[in-house]
A and B are shown apart, each in its own frame.
Chain A
Amino acid sequence: LAKTTQPISMDSYEGQEVNITCSHNNIATNDYITWYQQFPSQGPRFIIQGYKTKVTNEVASLFIPADRKSSTLSLPRVSLSDTAVYYCLVGAQGPLFSGGYNKLIFGAGTRLAVHP
């Protein structure tokens, strides 16, 4: 499983766009990039997943450059309720991978604090 590196913490203000970058230099060909969000005392929640280029859903966008050695989670116009820990996970998860079972390996994540 590819090792990931992301900032330990970030601060932002309501209404701003937040970009959290994750480095994964050893990403393998069949690895997907997945982001989870965790609020205090709750279970992780899936946000977005991508393989290359850009993925967007109602919550966030995920930008993946051509070399796939990093990815950026973009949260548009954050609010106080976006204060959480954000995890970048890289592994063989997704439609390109067949066989095996998928345990998620969480790092320390990025602790995002949104201020009024």
Chain B
Amino acid sequence: EPEVTQTPSHQVTQMGQEVILRCVPISNHLYFYWYRQILGQKVEFLVSFYNNEISEKSEIFDDQFSVERPDGSNFTLKIRSTKLEDSAMYFCASSDDSQGTQYFGPGTRLLVL
């Protein structure tokens, strides 16, 4: 069964550093999403992406965040200058339709020190 993959599984970084989280969505999917989950809290929507542009973003997704689909398979989330409060699990998801079921990856655990 096709699945969403994410790398790295864990990342530790220093405050102020840039991080890039990588995702490979399911191959025939066209809609891509990033969510995050701070430890012990809810899963929160960050951004949706379609046709090489952001469709919607949440208040969390400020100027420090950006997304990109650099090639036909990868979908990345960049945090320009990490803050302590960016420590969380980051999940990528994809769907084949704007209203279709979203399939989540296993997540990247980001720890900002």
Asked if B103 is at the interface of the complex by the 8 Å CB criterion, the answer is: yes
CA distance A108 to B89 in the complex (A): 16
Q: Would you call the interface of chain B mostly helix, strand, loop, or mixed?
A: strand
Which A residues, 73 to 116, have Cβ-Cβ distances below 8 Å to chain B? 87, 92-95, 97-109
Q: Contact check, B50 vs A101: say whether CB atoms are below 8 A apart.
A: yes
Q: Contact check, B98 vs A101: say whether CB atoms are below 8 A apart.
A: yes
- Closest-by-CB residue of A relative to B54 is A101
Q: Contact check, B33 vs A103: say whether CB atoms are below 8 A apart.
A: yes
Q: Contact check, A41 vs B109: say whether CB atoms are below 8 A apart.
A: yes
B11 to chain A, nearest CB (A): 14
CA distance A106 to B93 in the complex (A): 14
Which B residues, 45 to 84, have Cβ-Cβ distances below 8 Å to chain A? 45, 48, 50, 55-56, 58
Q: Contact check, B89 vs A41: say whether CB atoms are below 8 A apart.
A: yes
Q: What are 24 A-to-B residue pairs whose CB atoms are below 8 Å?
A: A41-B107, A41-B109, A42-B107, A43-B91, A43-B104, A43-B105, A43-B107, A45-B104, A46-B102, A95-B99, A97-B99, A101-B31, A101-B98, A102-B48, A102-B98, A102-B99, A102-B100, A102-B102, A103-B45, A103-B48, A103-B56, A104-B33, A105-B45, A108-B42
- Known contacts A92-B99, A103-B33; 15 further A-B pairs (Cβ under 8 A): A41-B109, A43-B4, A44-B43, A93-B99, A99-B98, A101-B55, A102-B95, A102-B100, A104-B35, A104-B45, A104-B93, A104-B102, A105-B45, A106-B43, A108-B42
Task: Give me the interface of B with A, judged by CB distance under 8 Å.
Answer: 4, 31, 33, 35, 42-45, 48, 50, 55-56, 58, 89, 91, 93, 95, 98-107, 109
